[in-house]
Amino acid sequence: MLELRTFAAHFPNTGSEYAILIYTVPEKIKSDIRLRATLRQQASARIPTQYGHFEMYAYSEDANDPMPHIAFVGEGFNPALPVAVRIHSECMTGDVFGSRRCDCGEQLDAAMQIAAAQGGVVIYLRQEGRGIGLINKLKAYNLQDEGLNTIDANTHLGFEADTRQYEAAIAMLNDLGIRQIELITNNPDKVNALKKSEIEIVGRIPIVIAPHAENQDYLRTKQDLMGHLLGL
Ligand SMILES: [Zn+2]
């Protein structure tokens, strides 16, 4: 069982109250995260999409893992050249159902377009199910609706800053033979985490998403408190 704790803090620069959720990750999940460094490519298949043609690779330790990490590789992919890469953490509400509480779905959509056009790669990490999970995310949303300006620290912000999750992405990029990347991100933490690997970042491709009324506070929090480069 994941333990959920909250505290509120006042940030003078923004004049707003934020509640930050702290999730205590149990030992079993911690060791699970460490094991991802030994991921193996289990299967791949051609997947035509609305964006273009992709080859989809599934990576896991166990061939029967029901939630493998995914690498979508765009047509024209050439690992001898710098590759446009998006590292995306699963957000079912945003990615699948188009939730406007965050900008994950729109970022994934933009990244798929870039990968299709440039022979790029979208790495899809199954963080939501293995990290805090959907249930805790919905509980966090309820806190927001009760009036707290909440950062969902684990799913969208804090946990992304944890470099351990990038071990899986780095293992997948290495397996695909990628040495140089242009990272599709607005998040400087992702750039910093990958700088510690052997993969060279030769550029950053920003994604500009127009804010909606429903996610304006969320995007501003990302920019003001987490250093995302959103130009708001
Ligand atoms: Zn999201």
Rounded Cα distance, 167 and 72, in Å: 18
Q: How many domains does the chain have?
A: 1
> What residue numbers bound the domain in which 156 lies?
3-226
Please indicate, yes or no, if residue 178 is contained in any of the structural domains. yes
Rounded Cα distance, 225 and 134, in Å: 23
Tell me which residues are annotated as active site.
162, 164
**Which pTM was predicted?**
0.76
Torsions phi, psi of 71, nearest 5? -120, 120
CATH number at residue 129: 3.40.50.10990
- Closest listed residue to residue 155, CA positions, set 21, 11, 39: 21
Note down pLDDT in tens along the chain; length 232 residues.
333 444 334 344 444 444 444 444 444 444 444 444 589 999 999 999 999 999 999 999 999 999 999 999 999 999 999 999 999 988 899 999 999 888 889 999 999 999 999 999 999 998 775 566 788 788 778 877 776 655 544 444 444 434 446 788 999 999 999 999 999 988 777 777 777 788 999 999 988 777 777 777 777 777 776 677 777 6
- State in Å, rounded, how far the first CA of the chain is from the last one: 38
CA of 93 to the centre of ligand 1 (A): 6
- Three-state DSSP at 16 gives strand
CB-proximal residues (5 Å) to ion ligand 1: 91, 94, 102, 104
CA of 95 to the centre of ligand 1 (A): 7
CA of 6 to the centre of ligand 1 (A): 20
